[in-house]
Amino acid sequence: MSLEIKTEMLVREAMSSPVISVNEDENMVKVAALMKEYDVGAIIIVNQKDKPVGIVTERDLVNRVIAEGKDPRDMRARDIMSSPLKMVEPEMTLMEAMQLMDKLNIRRLGVIYKGDLVGVISDRNIIRLVPTIVEIMKERQEINQIPPSFGPSIAGYCDECEMYSNNLLEVDGEFLCEECRIDL
């Protein structure tokens, strides 16, 4: 039995499941009603073979239907969905998922396992975990007696290697990740 503290959380630990989905031929009134019923900000769109082909978000409804003055009863999910749905594996780390969402400028990813859509991971799922992650880090620091970092750290892109990090520190006027600081 291992007592090792796990430091990376996985997509499967934060994803929403089961997935709320509708057929691509469904009208937007039904899609909006499902969003309301399940209190979700997006619905996965599936084809006739029940395979995910896209996603409709609240933003899609506002920008592609309401703002354009279209009648939602006449609009089908396939007409306004964002496609293709970007997919990740459940074993991907949350950090990798956040980096992918940031790179693609999206807020949700489908989670696929053995060819089936099993969940959705959103920025909101990840944000909900932040207090838990902070507590785990504090406890880990106390257990391992890791001295605190000097100065405040921030999240962003390292000025040296241009990789995303949530542990940037300012060194000689540049914000550097932990690896680049070690290389100095």
Check residue 2 and give its pLDDT: 42
Tens of pLDDT, residues 95-151: 899 999 999 999 999 999 998 999 999 988 888 887 877 787 787 777 766 444 556
- Check whether domain 11-126 has CATH 3.30.1280.10, yes or no: no
Tens of pLDDT, residues 6-35: 557 899 999 998 999 999 999 999 999 999
* Alpha-carbon torsion angle 66, 127, 129, 119, nearest 10: 40
In the chain, domain spans: 11-126, 150-184
pTM: 0.67
At position 24, the amino acid (one-letter code) is: E
Q: Is 109 exposed, middle or buried (0-12, 13-18, 19+ CB in 10 A)?
A: buried
The segment with the largest mean pLDDT, out of 80-89, 149-158, 175-184, is 80-89
